[in-house]
Amino acid sequence: MDRLYIFDTTLRDGEQVPGCQLNTIEKIQVAKALEGLGVDVIEAGFPISSPGDFNSVVEISKAVTWPTICALTRGVQKDIDVAAEALKYAKNKRIHTGIGTSDFHIKHKFNSTQDEILERAVAAVKHAKKYVEDVEFYCEDAGRTDNVYLARVVEAVIKAGATVVNIPDTTGYCLPWQYGEKIKFLMDNVKGVHNAILSTHCHNDLGMATANTIAGVQNGARQVEVTINGIGERAGNTSLEEIAMILKCHKSMNIETQINTQKIYGISRMVSGLMNMPVQANKAVVGRNAFAHSSGIHQDGVLKNRESYEIMDPTDVGIDKNSIVLTARSGRAALKHRLSVLGVNVEGDHLDTIYEAFLKLADKKKDINDDDVLLLAGKERTEKQRIQIDYLQVTSGVGVKSVASLGLLIAGEKFEAAAVGNGPVDAAIKALKQIIKRTMTLQEFTIQAISKGSDDVGKVHMQVEHDGIVYYGFGANTDIVAASVEAYINAINQFVK
């Protein structure tokens, strides 16, 4: 079996997605879960981009033991200096530097020439080598880069000391056979290619990220860059869980990883919960319907023999169909166990706080599911916000105008307002706007029930525009009007300091 290295970029390419930003504590939680999952490399951030990113790379470096911690840079000396500083506590460290190599990037982004870009690439690798042994180089937009020029760049950076060369399909443009041919061309034509590992980094703009990644592996790439749930810029990156399960289902490929697939479901829920990014119901491997058989013919077949319609055993990805159902009668131990299966380890006072919130929710809702539990574990984040709801009362119905009265606590001081609206959410938001007198526009508003049942928790995602910037807000409550106001306030809290 050939070993394939898993490079996870959930905390860098994934976290770049608007609305998915995590604080340092949350990033450490995800990094520890990635370590438990068995990834080889964690791309922890882009240190020069912000003090927050710098600090996260420092703290993840301290918290994680065996995976390599990687920091992204542009092919610029200052970026590389800052990345090296951020990585100083990492036990195993890598600098990931690079530059655009397609004609689009060379002409329009850099107003430069192929020769000059090649020189800058080599200089960046040599500079990074002064700090770390392990240097990865990315040829941005390699998907649209001419293969002959790409081979020149790859050869030069390997000669300069790059240990890994990343061939990103930055725009998600390639067809699987084209991407596979690209990797094969490099394997066949780059002198010294065996002194480094070629890496895939595929975006999903045309829904081909996973297929392209597999084509790359079939042609010699031995590192894949992936994210949990496939999150990432625009349509996302190749999803880790898909690659791990493809290799598990297709042993004939003779490729192995160190991923403990039974931890996939837990980390998928954790990342989705922390980033407020729902997983689509029919998402391969981790979607709610991935193992749900609804048609009579399928149900009958699965009952006779699971393998009639299932190529994967749900327990292989950590879906425990016999997991204990949590209800108002469940104790702390059951809650703690469920959270740990989902990758969240809590003890002492923190567990007590979550348990109290759990009992309150269980009073309103019969069965508590995994998403509910993860929401409760993350609730502390919203409770520490500057603006909070004190009370909310809404009357609405058919043939009457909706009326809302709202009390807010702003830095501990109480404010009240009442308003009439076209519906309960409209009335509540009008009351909110009487208290928070800023120019702001609601641009997007989605309500989602987590599972089934009229007692379910409703999740609300909002985009609120203020001063030309869009802020993302999230709320979750069994009362969807309250969830909507929570989401609006969550967005406002980001610009009212």
Among 4, 6, 10, 13, binds Zn ion (CB under 5 A): 13
Residue 456 engages Zn ion in binding (rule: CB under 5 A): no
DSSP H/E element including 25: helix 24-37
Among 5, 54, 138, 472, binds ligand KIV (CB under 6 A): 138
Rounded to an integer, what distance in angstroms lies between the CA atom of residue 22 and that of residue 29?
10
Sole window of 24-32, 164-172, 184-192, 393-401 interacting with ligand KIV (rule: CB under 6 A)? 164-172
* DSSP label at residue 233: S
Residue 7's closest CA among 25, 34, 28, 27? 34
- Report the partner that residue 7 touches, choosing among Zn ion, ligand KIV, none (CB closer than 5 to 8 A by kind): none
Residue 370 engages Zn ion in binding (rule: CB under 5 A): no
* DSSP label at residue 326: B
Q: What are the strands, taking DSSP E only, across 141-276?
A: 164-169, 197-202, 223-226, 255-256
Number of residues that bind ligand KIV (CB under 6 A): 8
Whether the CB-CB separation of 419 and 404 falls below 8 Å is answered with yes
DSSP string covering 389-453, please?
A: EEEEEEE--TTS-EEEEEEEEETTEEEEEEEEESSHHHHHHHHHHHHS----EEEEEEEEESSSS
Whether the CB-CB separation of 107 and 132 falls below 8 Å is answered with no
Strands 413-421 and 402-410: antiparallel
Residue 161 engages ligand KIV in binding (rule: CB under 6 A): no
Number of residues that bind Zn ion (CB under 5 A): 1
Bridge partners of 466?
A: 469
Residue 201 vs residues 68, 126, 240, 400, 490: alpha-carbon distances, Å: 17, 23, 12, 55, 33
Residue 75 engages ligand KIV in binding (rule: CB under 6 A): no
Sole window of 163-171, 177-185, 260-268, 484-492 interacting with ligand KIV (rule: CB under 6 A)? 163-171
Residue 26 engages Zn ion in binding (rule: CB under 5 A): no
- Report the partner that residue 138 touches, choosing among ligand KIV, Zn ion, none (CB closer than 5 to 8 A by kind): ligand KIV
Rounded to an integer, what distance in angstroms lies between the CA atom of residue 64 and that of residue 456?
37
Least Å distance, CB 166 to ligand KIV, is 6
Residue 145 engages ligand KIV in binding (rule: CB under 6 A): no
Q: Is the dihedral of CA 427, 428, 432, 435 positive or negative?
A: positive
Residue 136 engages ligand KIV in binding (rule: CB under 6 A): no
Least Å distance, CB 104 to Zn ion, is 15
Sole window of 60-68, 85-93, 116-124, 165-173 interacting with ligand KIV (rule: CB under 6 A)? 165-173
Among 140, 155, 241, 242, binds ligand KIV (CB under 6 A): 140
Residues in contact with ligand KIV, shown as a per-residue x/- string from 11 to 30 under the rule CB under 6 A? --x-----------------
Among 14, 67, 161, 168, binds ligand KIV (CB under 6 A): 168
* DSSP label at residue 108: I
Number of helical H runs and strand E runs in the chain: 16, 16
Cβ closer to Zn ion: 13 or 486? 13
Rounded to an integer, what distance in angstroms lies between the CA atom of residue 157 and that of residue 258?
28
Query: Helix or strand or coil: residue 42?
Result: strand
Residue 15 engages Zn ion in binding (rule: CB under 5 A): no
Least Å distance, CB 124 to ligand KIV, is 13
Residue 140 engages Zn ion in binding (rule: CB under 5 A): no
Least Å distance, CB 174 to ligand KIV, is 12
Least Å distance, CB 104 to ligand KIV, is 12
Whether the CB-CB separation of 430 and 396 falls below 8 Å is answered with no
Least Å distance, CB 233 to Zn ion, is 6
Whether the CB-CB separation of 158 and 131 falls below 8 Å is answered with no
Rounded to an integer, what distance in angstroms lies between the CA atom of residue 318 and that of residue 225?
22
- Report the partner that residue 140 touches, choosing among Zn ion, ligand KIV, none (CB closer than 5 to 8 A by kind): ligand KIV
Residue 134 engages ligand KIV in binding (rule: CB under 6 A): no
Cβ closer to ligand KIV: 166 or 276? 166
Q: How far is CA 40 from the centre of its chain?
A: 17
Q: How far is CA 430 from the centre of its chain?
A: 33
Residue 480's closest CA among 438, 437, 423? 423
φ, ψ of residue 282 to 5 degrees: the values are -100, 20
Among 29, 101, 145, 166, binds ligand KIV (CB under 6 A): 166
> Which residues in the 376-405 window bind ligand KIV by CB under 6 A?
none
Least Å distance, CB 143 to ligand KIV, is 9
* Cα–Cα–Cα angle for 327, 331, 332, rounded to 5 degrees: 120
Among 170, 219, 330, 463, binds ligand KIV (CB under 6 A): 170
Residue 199 engages ligand KIV in binding (rule: CB under 6 A): no
Rounded to an integer, what distance in angstroms lies between the CA atom of residue 79 and that of residue 98?
11
Residue 59 engages ligand KIV in binding (rule: CB under 6 A): no
Cβ closer to Zn ion: 196 or 202? 202
Residue 201 engages ligand KIV in binding (rule: CB under 6 A): yes
Tell me which residues touch Zn ion (CB under 5 A): 13
Which residues of this chain interact with ligand KIV, rule CB under 6 A? 13, 138, 140, 166, 168, 170, 201, 203
